[in-house]
Amino acid sequence: MASAATLVQSSPTARSWLQGLRDGLPQLEYSEAKYYAAFKTEPPRRAVAYLNPAQRSVRVFLGLEPGAESDLQQTPSTSSWAARFPSVFRIAGEQDLTRAAQLILMSRTALGPSTRKNTNPRPDHFGTGELPPEVEYAEGAASHVIVNAYERNRQAREACLRYYGRSCAACGFNFEANYGEATAGYIQVHHLVPIAQVGAKYQLRPIRDLRPVCPNCHAAIHRREPPFSIEEIKNMLQNHGAKGSPGGGTDVRRKAKTVKKRPVADARG
C-alpha cells in the first residue's frame, strides 16, 4: 500500500479500512492521490469508485443511483463530476467493509465498459492528477476541513478571469490562440497568498489575490518555498526564456489580443 504520507488526512483507522477494501477487491486496481483513493478497472483503467478518507470515516462515491440501495445517499453536489458518481456510502467501521466492497462491484457493473473516447474537457482549474471536486480536503491546518473546493472557489475564479482575461499573467500564453477552439478558455488560477499562510480571518478577493497563469508558469512559481512572484517569473523569462525557445532565439508562442479590463460588480469572492 502507498505510504501514510500520501493521503494527508487519513487516520490509521481509515487506512486500515482502505487496506481491508483493497485486500477484498483484488480484481480492481487501487490507487491513491493526495486527497482521495480510487478503484479502477484494468486498462484503460476506468474509475468505478472514489474514496475520500477522513479521521473517523471513509466516503465512497459510486456510479449507482441513490435510490437503488437503501444505504446509499445522494452525492452532495450538482456538478458534472457528481453526474457520474451520484451516490455515496459512508464507512464508519469495519462492519461496513463487506458492504462497501459489494457496492463498489455493483458500481463497476452499473458504469459498464467504456465505449467511447473521453471527449469531455477536464474542469480547467483542476490539473492532471488533482482531486475530484467532491472530496473534503485539508486547507492550512490538517484539522481545518473545507468542503468542495470546486463550488467554493468557482465564483472567485470567474471574477478573476473576467477582470484579467485568460492569458498567462507571467508569459502571456493563451491556449486558444495556440491550440485552437478545443482549448478555448483554459487557464489555471494562482493564489498570490499561499494557501498554507491563509488564516481563519482571511477573506479571498479575486482581483487582489488571484492571477491567471499557464501550467508551465504555475509550476515554475511553486518550485520554491515561498513561491516565486509573478514579476520574478517574468524576469526569468526575459533573462533565460528566449534561449530555449523553439524559434531559435525568438519566442514563437502566440498571445491573445489585449482585452480591455472590465470592472467586476462584486469581486469579494
CA–CA separation, 37 and 57 (whole Å):
13
The model's pLDDT over 5-40, given as tens digits with 9 standing for 90+, comes to: 467 667 888 889 999 999 999 999 998 887 788 999
Closest among 51, 64, 68 to 105, alpha carbons compared: 64
> Residue 256: its pLDDT value, please?
56
Other beta carbons within 10 Å of 224: 9
> Residue 234: its pLDDT value, please?
94
What CATH number does domain 12-111 carry, 3.30.230.10, 1.10.760.10, 3.30.70.100, 3.90.1150.30? 3.90.1150.30
The model's pLDDT over 126-150, given as tens digits with 9 standing for 90+, comes to: 443 334 444 444 444 333 333 334 3
CA–CA separation, 20 and 26 (whole Å):
11
**From the centroid of its chain, how far is CA 213?**
16
> Residue 21: its pLDDT value, please?
92
> Residue 213: its pLDDT value, please?
93
CA–CA separation, 15 and 7 (whole Å):
9
Cell reading at 16: 486500515
From edge to edge, which strands make up the β-sheet containing 47-53? Answer: 29-32, 37-40, 47-53, 58-62, 87-91, 73-74
Answer yes or no: are the C-beta atoms of 173 and 162 closer than 8 Å. no
Closest among 93, 85, 177, 161 to 124, alpha carbons compared: 161
Low-confidence residues of the chain, pLDDT below 70? 1-6, 8-9, 43-44, 78-80, 114-153, 194-202, 241-269
> Residue 12: its pLDDT value, please?
87
> Residue 203: its pLDDT value, please?
75
Closest among 6, 3, 103, 9 to 56, alpha carbons compared: 9
> Residue 146: its pLDDT value, please?
35
> Residue 135: its pLDDT value, please?
46
Instruction: Compute CA distances 177 → 139, 188, 246, 255, whole Å.
Output: 34, 16, 17, 6
> Residue 267: its pLDDT value, please?
42
Per-domain residue ranges of the chain: 12-111, 148-244
Closest among 214, 216, 204, 219 to 160, alpha carbons compared: 204
> Residue 153: its pLDDT value, please?
61
> Residue 269: its pLDDT value, please?
40
Peptide linkage before 44 cis (omega within 30 of 0): yes
